[in-house]
Amino acid sequence: MSDAGVSDERGSAGHVFVYRGDIRTLACDAWYFPMDTDLAFSPAWLQGDEQLADAVSAVRREDLPADWGGDGRRVHPLTLTDARRATPVLAAINVRGTNDPSYHRETLRQFVEATAALPRPKGMERAKRLLAVPLIGTGDSGGMWHRGKHLQSVLKGLAEEAERVSIDIALVTRDGPSTAAAHAVRRTMTYRALSWDELSGDLHDHARRLAELARRGQLVIFSGAGLGRSAGLPDWKQLLIELATKSGFDEPVKTRLAQLDVLDQAALLSGRLGASEMTDYIAELLNVPHHGLSHGLIANMPVHEIATLNYDQLHELAAKGAGFELSVLPYEPVSDRWLLKMHGCIAPGRRQDIVLTRSQYLGFSQHRASLTGLVQALLVTRHMLFVGFALRDDHFHSVVHDVRRALGDNARTGKLGTALLLEPDELQQELWEKDLSYVATGHGGLESARRLEIFLDLVLSLASGSDVYLFDATFEEVLTKDERALRDELKVLASRVSAFADAPAWQRVRQLLDDLGAPPAKSDRRVR
C-alpha cells in the first residue's frame, strides 16, 4: 500500500493486538521508544542492535525543542540506515511521574500523529498502519504494585487512539504474566478496538475451538510461504521472478518461464545461476531484520511444535523475543519447543538442504524420510493448523495420502486439521473436505491478511489463562472472584506441606504449585 492510502484508513476502527516479544524485531511502521526527558534510557534497548545504537547516539539535547518532555513536543523520530526497518520514535516519559495517565495519553497521541507522515518501511504492505508500543509504567516507579489497574489505563489509551485514526497498534510486553493479564483485562473492556467485532460469528466459533485445542496441548502449526508476506518476504511466485531477474532472463523469456511448473522453473534457474549461488541469493532475499505480526502471535500460543516448508528464520526470531528457544529440526536436538524445517534453512551451514527443484523434491523421500514421518505423526496425533499454506505442495499431498491410507475411513475420528486461508476456495474445500476444516478470513487481499492476524490474536487471547499470574499480588485487580477463591485455597494447601512432604504424590502437587507461581512453604522438604 502506498503512503497515499493512509488517509483512507479512517473509515473503520483499528485493532489493538497483544503479544510478548522484542518490539525492535516486529515488522511494523514505527515503534514507541520510551526515553527520559534527559535522554536516559535502559541499555537493554540497544543490546545487540548497532544500527539503533548509532541512531540514538547521534541525538543531542540541543537537537530537541526547549520544552522537550514538558507541555510541548514529546516525540522525535530516528533515522535508521536499513530502509526495511520500522522507525523508532523517541517518546519522553517520567515527567510528573511515570504513572500519570494524562501525561502518557498526550505522549501517545503525539506518537501516533508523528508516525502519519513517516515513510513506510521498504516492502511493508498492510491494509492499515501498524504501530508498536511497549508496556511502560510497571517498573520501579511504583506502578508495578498495581499492574492490573495500570493495564486498564494503558489499553484504554491504545484503544482510543486506534479508533480515533483507524490504525492497528500492537502492545508488546516483555514477560508472561503481563501478557496473560493484558489479554484478561482486554476481554473485560468494551472498546471496539479491544474486541474482535470485525470477525464473523463463525470465525469466533473456530477461534474458540482452536484455542481449546491449544490449551489441551493438541494444536500444532504448519506454516507456508504466505506467512512471510507480513514481514515483506516474497511468496513462491515472487521468489522465482527475483531469481529469474538475477539469472539475466529478459522479459519474454521470463513470461515463458512462468508458464512452467514451479519445480521446473527452479531447475532452470539453478542451472543458470548454479546451485550454491542460487541458495545464497535466496538467503539474501529472505534474511530480513524483523518478523511478521502473525509470527509473534503464534510464538505466544501454547503450541510446542511447528512444521514449515519455509527457509526463513522468522519463527526463531519471534520465539526468541517471546522468551523461548526453538530447537530447529533436523539440525538440533529436540527440546520442549521445536520447529521442523522440512525443506531446509537459510542459516549458514544449512543452505545445502534447501529443496526447490524437481530433482530435490524427488530425492527428499529417500534422504529425509524421518522428517516426513514426523509430520505424519503430528497429523495423526494432533490437530494441525495450516497458516499461509495453499495446500498445493506435491510433497504435502504425498504425506496426507500416506496418512489417509494408514488410518482408513474406519479409524478416522475427526478432521486432521484446519486450513486458515485469505479467501474461500470451493474446489479446494471439496477436495479436502474429509481431512480439513476450511476457515476463510475474507475475500483475499490485504484486508483479509489483516483479518487473519486479528483471528490469530483472538485464538491467542482465548488460549491465555490466569495460571501464570494467579499468585502475583500486583495483578490482584485482574483476577475474577472464582480465581481469587481458588488462589486462596491453593495457598492453604501450600502452607500445609509438612503434612504431606513424605507422600510421593506430593512432589507432583508441589510441581503444580510451582508452575502456578505459589511461594514455597518454609517447611517444604523437596526431593532434589
Please determine, for residue 266, whether its predicted confidence score (pLDDT) is greater than 60: yes
| Cα–Cα distance, 225 to 227 (Å, whole number) | 5
Bin 389: left if φ > 0, else alpha if -120 < ψ < 50, else beta.
beta
Q: Do the Cβ atoms of 446 and 1 come closer than 8 Å?
A: yes
Tell me phi and psi for residue 166, to 5 degrees. Answer: 55, 60
For residue 474, give the nearest of 184, 144, 152 by alpha carbon. Answer: 144
Tell me phi and psi for residue 130, to 5 degrees. Answer: -120, 120
DSSP letter at 75 equals E
Mean pLDDT on 169-191: 93
DSSP for 409-447, written as a single string: HHH--S-SEEEEESS--HHHHHHHTTTEEEEE-SSSHHH
Please determine, for residue 204, whether its predicted confidence score (pLDDT) is greater than 90: yes
pLDDT-above-70 percentage for the chain? 91
* Residues 147-156 pLDDT 10s: 778 898 899 9
Q: Do the Cβ atoms of 223 and 389 come closer than 8 Å?
A: yes
CATH 3.30.450.40 applies to domain 3-196: no
- CB atoms inside a 10 Å sphere around CB 9: 17
Which residue would you say has higher pLDDT here, 67 or 55? 55
| Cα–Cα distance, 516 to 471 (Å, whole number) | 7
What is the residue extent of each domain of the chain?
3-196, 210-231+291-440, 234-287, 480-516
Q: Which three cell numbers stand for residue 218?
A: 493438541
Mean pLDDT on 382-409: 82
Identify the residue whose cell numbers are 474429509. Answer: 434
Please determine, for residue 447, whether its predicted confidence score (pLDDT) is greater than 90: yes
Residues ≥6 apart with Cβ < 8 Å to 429? 438
For residue 145, the number of C-alpha atoms closer than 13 Å in the C-beta half-sphere is 3
Q: What is residue 382's three-state secondary structure?
A: coil
Task: Give the model's pLDDT for residue 94.
Answer: 64
Residues ≥6 apart with Cβ < 8 Å to 364? 343, 355, 372, 395
Which of 75-79, 204-208, 356-360 is modeled with the greatest confidence? 204-208
User: Structure pTM?
Assistant: 0.90
- Assign domain 210-231+291-440 to its CATH architecture: 3-Layer(aba) Sandwich (3.40)
